[in-house]
C-alpha cells in the first residue's frame, strides 16, 4: 500500500484527497515526521505505545490504515485518525534548541536587516516558532525555541528562577576572591539609574576555571536582565571578551555544533515543563 521513499521510510498518501497535491505550498510545509512521533507529539500516547496503536491497525492516514512503523506524515496536510477520531498535530508543540553562533540577533525578523534567527532555525517548518528569551548578538550557545507560548512565558517568568549557566572569557588575571561580589549579589553601579538595575543582582554561582592574561569563569544566574553577565564582570573590572551559554535549566548543549539546531527529546520537554511549573 505504501511506497518507500528515498530515505528508506515508507510514504503515506498525502493531502486531503489522495489523488491531489497538498494545497499548502511546499515551502510552508512541515518536514514530514514519523507517524509515531506525530502521535506522541499530539499527546495520543508515548512513541512506543503509538507504535502499538499503529501495528494494531488503529491508525489511519488520509483514510488508509498505516501499520508500517517507518511511515511519515506531513502534519500540515495529512489527516491522521486513531480509532476514527482525528488527531490534531496542533495539540502538540515544537521545542528546539540552537547552538547560537556570534553575530546573529535574537529575533525572528530584524527590522534593521541584521542576520537574525531565520538564518538558523527552520521557522517555515514550524509556524509560530519563537526564541525563549534572548542572547546578545555576540553571545553564543544554548537558545531554546518553541511554539508553546505558555511554556515560554513560564520559563522566563522571574518567579521561576530557572538557572542558566554561562562560560565567560574575561580580561585579566582573575583571583578567586575578586568573584565574591558576584557570589554575594552585586549592584551594577553604572546602570543603577535604570529600572532593571536599581537593585543588586541576585547572588550568582561562580567558579574560576582558569586564570592568566585572560581568565575563564563559569557563572550561573537565575535572572535574565539585559546584558547581565557582561555588566556583572564589567563591574568587578574584568570585562567579558566572549560569552557562551552552556545550559538552560535542565538542558545542556551536549555535542550540538555551533550553528546547528535539533528538536528536544520527549524527556527533555518533560524536564523543561517541570522546570517551568509554578
Query: Pseudo-torsion of CA 35, 39, 250, 97, nearest 10°?
Result: 50
Helix %, strand %, coil % for the chain, to 5? Answer: 25, 25, 50
Task: Name the residue among 127, 124, 164, 132 with its Cα closest to residue 150.
Answer: 132
Task: Name the residue among 218, 217, 223, 227 with its Cα closest to residue 201.
Answer: 223
The yes or no reply on residue 243 touching ligand URA (CB under 6 A) is yes
Q: Among the candidate windows 55-63, 81-89, 133-141, 201-209, which touches ligand URA by CB under 6 A?
A: 133-141
With respect to ligand URA, which residue has the nearer C-beta, 53 or 188? Answer: 188
Q: Is 136 a catalytic residue?
A: yes
The yes or no reply on residue 230 touching ligand URA (CB under 6 A) is yes
Task: Name the residue among 215, 274, 221 with its Cα closest to residue 247.
Answer: 221
Per-residue binder mask for ligand URA (CB under 6 A), 172-191, x = binder: --------------------
| Of the candidate residues 14, 36, 62, 228, the single one contacting ligand URA (CB under 6 A) | 228
DSSP character string of 9-24: PBB---SSSTTSPPSS
Cell of 119: 538564518
Distance from C-alpha of 130 to C-alpha of 132, rounded to nearest angstrom: 7
Least distance (Å) between residue 175 CB and ligand URA? 22
Per-residue binder mask for ligand URA (CB under 6 A), 93-122, x = binder: ------------------------------
Distance from C-alpha of 197 to C-alpha of 187, rounded to nearest angstrom: 7
Least distance (Å) between residue 237 CB and ligand URA? 16
With respect to ligand URA, which residue has the nearer C-beta, 89 or 230? Answer: 230
Which residue's Cβ lies closest to ligand URA? 139
Question: Residues 139 to 178: which contact ligand URA by CB under 6 A?
Answer: 139
With respect to ligand URA, which residue has the nearer C-beta, 12 or 144? Answer: 144
The yes or no reply on residue 37 touching ligand URA (CB under 6 A) is no
Distance from C-alpha of 12 to C-alpha of 226, rounded to nearest angstrom: 48
Helices and strands, number each (H, E), in the chain: 6, 15
Distance from C-alpha of 42 to C-alpha of 39, rounded to nearest angstrom: 5
| Of the candidate residues 73, 94, 98, 135, the single one contacting ligand URA (CB under 6 A) | 135
Strands, DSSP E only, in 41-106? 59-61, 64-65, 72-73, 80-82, 85-87, 95-100
Q: Among the candidate windows 59-67, 83-91, 209-217, 222-230, which touches ligand URA by CB under 6 A?
A: 222-230
The yes or no reply on residue 229 touching ligand URA (CB under 6 A) is yes
The yes or no reply on residue 136 touching ligand URA (CB under 6 A) is yes
Q: Among the candidate windows 22-30, 170-178, 205-213, 226-234, which touches ligand URA by CB under 6 A?
A: 226-234
The yes or no reply on residue 227 touching ligand URA (CB under 6 A) is yes
Taking only Cα atoms into account, the Rg of the chain, rounded to an integer number of angstroms, comes to 23
Least distance (Å) between residue 7 CB and ligand URA? 37
Of 110, 136, 138, 266, which one is the catalytic site residue?
Answer: 136
Q: How many alpha carbons fall within 13 Å on the CB side of residue 234?
A: 12
Interface with ligand URA (CB under 6 A):
135-136, 139, 227-230, 243
Q: Which residues are known to be catalytic?
A: 136
Amino acid at each position: 500500500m505504501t511506497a518507500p521513499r528515498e530515505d528508506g521510510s515508507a510514504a503515506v498518501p498525502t493531502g486531503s484527497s489522495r489523488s491531489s497535491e497538498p494545497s499548502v505550498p511546499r515551502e510552508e510545509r512541515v518536514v514530514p515526521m514519523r507517524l509515531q512521533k506525530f502521535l506522541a507529539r499530539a499527546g495520543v500516547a508515548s512513541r512506543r505505545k503509538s507504535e502499538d496503536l499503529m501495528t494494531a491497525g488503529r491508525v489511519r492516514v488520509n483514510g488508509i490504515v498505516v501499520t508500517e512503523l517507518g511511515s511519515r506524515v506531513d502534519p500540515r496536510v495529512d489527516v491522521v485518525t486513531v480509532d476514527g477520531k482525528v488527531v490534531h498535530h496542533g495539540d502538540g508543540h515544537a521545542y528546539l534548541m540552537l547552538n547560537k553562533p556570534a553575530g546573529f540577533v535574537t529575533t525572528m525578523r530584524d527590522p534593521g536587516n541584521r542576520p537574525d534567527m531565520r538564518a538558523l532555525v527552520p521557522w517555515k517548518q514550524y509556524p509560530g516558532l519563537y526564541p525563549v528569551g534572548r542572547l546578545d548578538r555576540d553571545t553564543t550557545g544554548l537558545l531554546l525555541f518553541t511554539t508553546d507560548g505558555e511554556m515560554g512565558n513560564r520559563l522566563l517568568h522571574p518567579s521561576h528562577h530557572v538557572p542558566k549557566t554561562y562560560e565567560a572569557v574575561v580580561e585579566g588575571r582573575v583571583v578567586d576572591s575578586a568573584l565574591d561580589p558576584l557570589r554575594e549579589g552585586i549592584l551594577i553601579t553604572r546602570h543603577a539609574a535604570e529600572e532593571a538595575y536599581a537593585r543588586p543582582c541576585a547572588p550568582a554561582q561562580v567558579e574560576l576555571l582558569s586564570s592568566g592574561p585572560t581568565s575563564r569563569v563559569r557563572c550561573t544566574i537565575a535572572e535574565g536582565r539585559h546584558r547581565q553577565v557582561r555588566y556583572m564582570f564589567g563591574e568587578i573590572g574584568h570585562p567579558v571578551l566572549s560569552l557562551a551559554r552552556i545550559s538552560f535549566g535542565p538542558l545542556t548543549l551536549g555535542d550540538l555544533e555551533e550553528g546547528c539546531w535539533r528538536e528536544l527529546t520527549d524527556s527533555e520537554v518533560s524536564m523543561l515543563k517541570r522546570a517551568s511549573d509554578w
